[in-house]
Amino acid sequence: MINHDTSTQCILSTFSTQTVRSGRQATSSRVQRQGAHLLGTIRGHAVLPGGAFELPTRSLPGLAGCESPLKHLGISTAPKKSTLAYANANRPGELYESIFMQLLGKCQTETAAHSRRKFRFKNKLMSLDGSIIELSATMFDWAKYRQCKGAIKLHLPLDHDGYLPSFAVVTDGKYSELKVARGLCLEAGTILAIDRGYNDYVWFGQLTRDGVFFVTCMKTNTVHTTVEVCAVPEKGNVLSNKIVSLPALDKDGEKPILFRRIEYWNPDKQEILVFFTNLLHLAASTVAAIYKDRWQIELFFKALKQTAKVKSFLGASANAVKTQIWTALIAMLILKYLQTKSSFGWPLSNLAALLRQQLFIFRDLWAWLAIRRRDRQPQGNWPSSYPYR
């Protein structure tokens, strides 16, 4: 038997005052038909058929609405925000980093067996980028970025076999991305796709000597010498294909390091892109496709910020922030793992939203993931807009 009063209390406990105020006029008649009345400007209160109910002000809103399932786990009340903030500040972030690395090994094994390769070459393809996460300069005084704004920077190399992060480096917002890039130890034969911000020709020369390939966009003021002009197909988007060298890297008595300069017409944005790479054996169109696939790391950062909610933190210390970022990356790995193992192609955002609804429900996860969305028919008296029971 479902207690509708308790269910209504749990639902209302997740709404903020702003939500109650903005939706009061539109929903007052509907709420009154259900037997509940909203009190205009009284913060955090609602009058229900069973009496007055006060929303917990110090508990997290999501957990506060799940007190009944929490009691089955042996937790009498929802944990306070300060409790979680203290735990994040005092537990070592290295613990969660080690869990991430162990889980990464398992996920890489699964994705390698199930993922389909986009390209014919057998080289490992990776992309590298950094993303700014803005913070309050007064609360996070250790995260130096600007005079009136704090920030941290998340540096992430993304493995394109399954689009999983290889590791993560968390620094303050002012830390240079090139410093992180120079510290990478990449295997010979790896192809690294990077944006224009990583242009460092001394580093490019070192990568070439180490047998590591890269693809990036060339800066307009780069001084280069044309060694050979290669033929381009008459039909296609490749406008120019040249073998070049950089006078700044030439040394007496040594052969110059050769690179490629490719001009490519981008029909989507109606612009010319100039690629710079040390891949001398692949087709120019393949080089352009490699750089286009670099966009996957931007999509990963977007999914991390929107799905794992890394824009708001429970603690203000550096350890608390790093702990929450590592746990967010662990959650992304679990989502990627479930997405790979599922027999139905779940979009990552839909999978995260539906799993969030099922956290306190006992069900066979693998059977649930294998069912297609259109096969999930509402049962009983549930509204047609509610997708799953």
pLDDT in tens, 47-61: 333 333 333 446 666
Q: Which two tokens stand for residue 288?
A: 């352009």
Computed over every residue of the chain, the mean pLDDT equals 77
Highest mean pLDDT among 48-52, 57-61, 112-116, 345-349: 345-349
Judge whether 118 and 293 are in contact, CB under 8 Å.
yes
Q: Which of 238, 240, 244 lies closest to 222 in space, CA to CA? A: 244
Q: How high is the pLDDT of residue 317?
A: 86
CA atoms of 262 and 275, how far apart (whole Å): 5
Q: For the segment 137-196, what is each residue's pLDDT rounded down to a tens digit?
A: 778 888 888 878 888 899 999 999 888 888 888 888 888 899 999 988 899 999 999 999
Q: What is the CA radius of gyration of the chain?
A: 27
Q: How far apart are CA 382 and CA 169, in angstroms?
A: 46
| Dihedral, CA of residue 302, residue 307, residue 309 and residue 310, to nearest 10 | -50
- Within the chain, all domains assigned CATH 3.90.350.10 are found at 119-135+144-307
Q: What percent of the chain has pLDDT over 70?
A: 78
Amino acid at residue number 192: L
Mean pLDDT in residue range 324-332: 91
Q: What are phi and psi of 155, to 5 degrees?
A: -100, 130
Q: Classify domain 119-135+144-307 by CATH architecture.
A: Alpha-Beta Complex (3.90)
Amino acid type, 225: T
* Closest C-alpha to 287, from 220, 191, 354: 191
**In this predicted model, what pLDDT tens digit does every residue of 199-232 receive, in sequence order?**
999 999 999 999 999 999 998 888 999 999 999 9
Q: How far apart are CA 245 and CA 240, in angstroms?
A: 16
Distance CA 195, CA 291 (A): 8
Q: Say what the pLDDT of residue 372 is.
A: 52
pLDDT in the model for residue 379: 44
Residue 43, pLDDT above cutoff 90 = no
Task: Supply the pLDDT for residue 235.
Answer: 85
Paired tokens of 20 = 């109650």
Distance CA 190, CA 144 (A): 34
Contact 269, 104 (CB under 8 A): no
Residue 268 CB burial class (10 angstroms; 0-12, 13-18, ≥19): exposed
